[in-house]
Amino acid sequence: MSDVSDLVDASSAPDTTVPTFESDLPQPALPVPAGAAADVPPPRLGPALPTLPTAGRPSRPTSGKAAAAPGMVSVGAADDATTEAGQVAEEPDSMAAAAASGNPHALAAAAHFAAMRQAASLPQVRSVRKPKRRSKKPVVVPVLLLGVLAGAAYVGRDSALMTRLQGVGYDTEALPMIVYPRPAPAGVERSVTEFGVIVDAAGVANVVEQFRDILSVSSTGDRSIGFRTSRFAVADGAATSPALTVEEQDMLFVGEFVYVESEVDGEPWQRQDRGWPLTGPEISDVWMYQDLVDQSLRHVPPVSTVSETLAAVEVTTYRWEIPLGELYESAPFAYAPFGVLNGNADPTSTVTLAISVDADGVVRVVDIRLDLDAVIAHATEQDDHLNYPFGFRVELDSLDDTAPTITAPTDVASADSPAPADPAADPAAEGGA
């Protein structure tokens, strides 16, 4: 009991003062801004903070008669707020007002707005992006070019080139790509037959067959050529036997001279200077598989492939049927020695090409023919009575390990006539196809 009475007595002691909201409380020391009086007492907690001017924001103009609220600072626009005397009202120093209030929050706000005003007063640099100009290049030329290309592709859509680009007509396994070693025989015997058409003034067509039997010495280039020219009548699109006329003549190339047999029996041979240097074997003496069956022809499937025996030699014969207008594109190597056929018939006429190859890759026979009726029609239309070739047949008769003997004739009469043309430049003159 004594303890309780002691507590009651202690709580009612007359010297003890109960603190209230208005009583003075110890305040923390605040920083004093520069220029302010040092004896400004610290503010009391609780009173409302003074309203600071809206620094950095545009202020609304106020009338000179309007009274500002207590504790508020009214700031007008520099161009609009003027006094009755015409003098511009200066904005009060917000830092000084905040320092006078003694409120730390007011000081911080005043410093922030002062920094914003200083930043706003600096010159502003803005980047200017140039607008992109749209190109106004003419589009007429590309459109015309595309139109021309499209038209050309449409017109030539059925040509051999366009069908090849479309993947039509190719067979990767039509013929193999093989390169055979070329033999080096001492002697070569072969024959070349050229078939042509002559339409006379009466419109009668005759087939002219020029046969050449050629024997060559590989080491010296000497050779003998036997010519035979026959003329046949035409019936049912083919030459008929017997021959209407036959002419024969021999020619020898020995050493530096050319010997030509006289057309009159019993007269001596004519001798002329050869006119070109001695040569060795020619590429036309022996053709190999790769010489004629090139990359283009390998991709054209033959219409037939036959194994047969020609002159006691086992061969494989490939036969193609190609339009004349596509012969150069389909078989350029085979076309080269027989280019005289070009233009002798309608381009849509058929060319039959047959190539016989033995086991060593040696081409034994090459036979190329145009349609005879198509050539006769073309020659009749030209009406010039010239010889239009329509076919060739080249046969390799033998490859000899021993060089054949070709001797000059003894019954020779000298001649001052010019030397004949080089048969290498004119294959028909020497029998090269």
**Residue pointed to by tokens 């000899």:** 400
Report the alpha-carbon distance of residue 88 to residue 78 in Å, rounded: 7
| Residue 270 included in any domain | yes
Q: Which two tokens stand for residue 330?
A: 């389909």
pTM of this structure:
0.57
Q: Which of 366, 322, 315 is nearest to 345 (CA)?
A: 322
Start-to-end CA distance of the chain, whole Å, equals 152
Tell me the residue length of the chain. 433
DSSP string, 164-200: HHTTTT--TTSS----PPPP--SEEEEEEEEEEEEE-
Cα-based distances in Å from 72 to 89, 114, 190: 16, 18, 128
Q: Identify the domain containing residue 387 by its residue range.
A: 187-430
In a domain, residue 10? The reply is no
In a domain, 300, yes or no: yes
Splitting the chain (433 residues) into consecutive groups of 10 residues, what average pLDDT does each group show? Answer: 44 46 48 50 51 48 43 42 41 70 81 80 71 64 80 73 62 79 92 95 94 91 93 90 92 91 89 72 79 91 94 95 93 90 93 96 96 94 93 94 91 65 47 38
Tokens representing 424 are 């290498």
Evaluate whether residue 6 is within a structural domain.
Answer: no
Contact 253, 224 (CB under 8 A): yes
Residues 6+ apart with CB under 8 A from 360: 180, 183
Residue 230, CB half-sphere, CA atoms under 13 Å: how many? 15
- Residues near 198 by beta carbon (within 8 Å), at least 6 away in sequence: 205, 206, 208, 379, 385, 386, 387, 388
Q: What pLDDT is attached to residue 174?
A: 82
Tokens 């025996």 map to which residue? 309
304 part of a folded domain: yes
Residue 149 within a domain: no
Residue 9 lies in a domain: no
**Domain tally for the chain?**
1
pLDDT for 7 equals 42
Residue 243 lies in a domain: yes
